[in-house]
Structure formats: C-alpha cells, structure tokens
C-alpha cells in the first residue's frame, strides 16, 4: 500500500475520539484540523465479536464521522498498522459543509463479519473506551 505524503482521512469509529487518535497516530494527529463529515450509502455496524465498527454498503443511509486533514506518512503508517489486515485504505467521497470532498478511509475487507447492531460512539465511550485505550497503549492494536 502506497501512503501519500499528506492525507485527509475520514474516520467513522473509535478514531473519532481524540484520545484514541492520539494514542494510535500520535499527538500531532489529534491536534490536526478536523471537520464533521458524512458518507452516503453506508451503515455503521459493530464488527462481529468486537466493540469497534465497520462500514457496510446500505443505499439510502449515511454515516457521520470526521475528516482529519493533512496526516503525514508516519501517522498514516501507524494507522495502517493499527487497523491491521481486516481493513484497507481506500478513497472515499464524503460531504462536508454541503460540498463533496475526496478523502481516504479504512474500509473492512468483504470477509470481515458484521453484527446486526448499529455502533454508537457515545455507547462505546461509556462501555468500552477505557479498556480499549489501555489495550492500544499496551499492545498497539484493536
């Protein structure tokens, strides 16, 4: 996978949380310019057997997230490592302030199983964030 010199990346799950983003990509990434965005045609579900989300195509639905601007190669390399073999970095068009914006995002590979339950950031923060953050700080991964 070729990592661009500067990357705008759409995050729709645990990396929306600045504590998680800083732990994974480094403190500069969490301080980078961020804006709310949505992607149409997807649904955010809990990955089966996990506490983090995956996106699945779903016509007529949309998913809210953030775009983090100007991530550098070192930060992107750490993000790729964190996401692991279940995800691939792919281009994605999102809507920000009523305009289309080309970003990159981590989409699950087709064989990654999804539950039928929607993933919600506030529920995840309340129930799972402390353990999840501790796992990242001690092992570096999901």
pLDDT for 12-68, tens place per residue?
999 999 999 999 999 999 998 999 999 999 999 999 999 999 999 999 999 999 999
- Count the Cβ atoms, other than its own, within 10 Å of residue 56: 16
Strands 87-96, 114-118: pairing is unpaired
pLDDT of 88 > 70? The answer is yes
| pTM of the model as a whole | 0.94
Instruction: List, as one string, the DSSP characters of the chain.
Output: -PPPSSEEEEE-SGGGSHHHHHHHH-HHHHHS-EEEEEEEEEEEEEETTSSSEEEEEEEEEEEEEEEEEEE-HHHHHHHHHHHGGGEEEEEEEEEETTEEEEEEEEEE-TTS-EEEEEP-HHHHHHHTHHHHHHHHHHHS--
Q: Residues 99-128: what's their mean pLDDT?
A: 96
- What per-residue confidence (pLDDT) applies to 103? 96
First to last CA, the chain: 20
User: What number does CATH give the domain 7-139?
Assistant: 3.10.490.10
Q: Residues 127-134: what's their mean pLDDT?
A: 96
- What per-residue confidence (pLDDT) applies to 6? 84
Of 3 and 128, which is predicted with more confidence?
128
With a pLDDT cut of 90, the percent of the chain lying above it is 89
């Amino acid at each position: 996978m070729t990592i661009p010199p500067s990357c705008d990346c759409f995050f729709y799950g645990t990396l929306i949380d600045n504590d998680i983003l800083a732990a994974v990509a480094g403190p500069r990434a969490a301080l980078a310019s961020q804006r709310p965005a949505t992607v149409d045609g997807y649904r955010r579900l809990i990955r089966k057997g996990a506490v983090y989300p995956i996106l699945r195509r779903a016509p007529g639905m949309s998913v809210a997230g953030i775009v983090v601007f100007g991530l550098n190669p070192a930060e992107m390399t750490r993000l790729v490592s964190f996401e692991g073999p279940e995800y691939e970095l792919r281009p994605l068009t999102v809507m920000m302030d009523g305009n289309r914006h080309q970003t990159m995002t981590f989409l699950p590979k087709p064989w990654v199983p999804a539950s039928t339950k929607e993933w919600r950031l506030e529920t995840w923060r309340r129930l799972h964030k402390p353990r999840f953050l501790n796992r990242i700080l001690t092992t570096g991964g999901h």
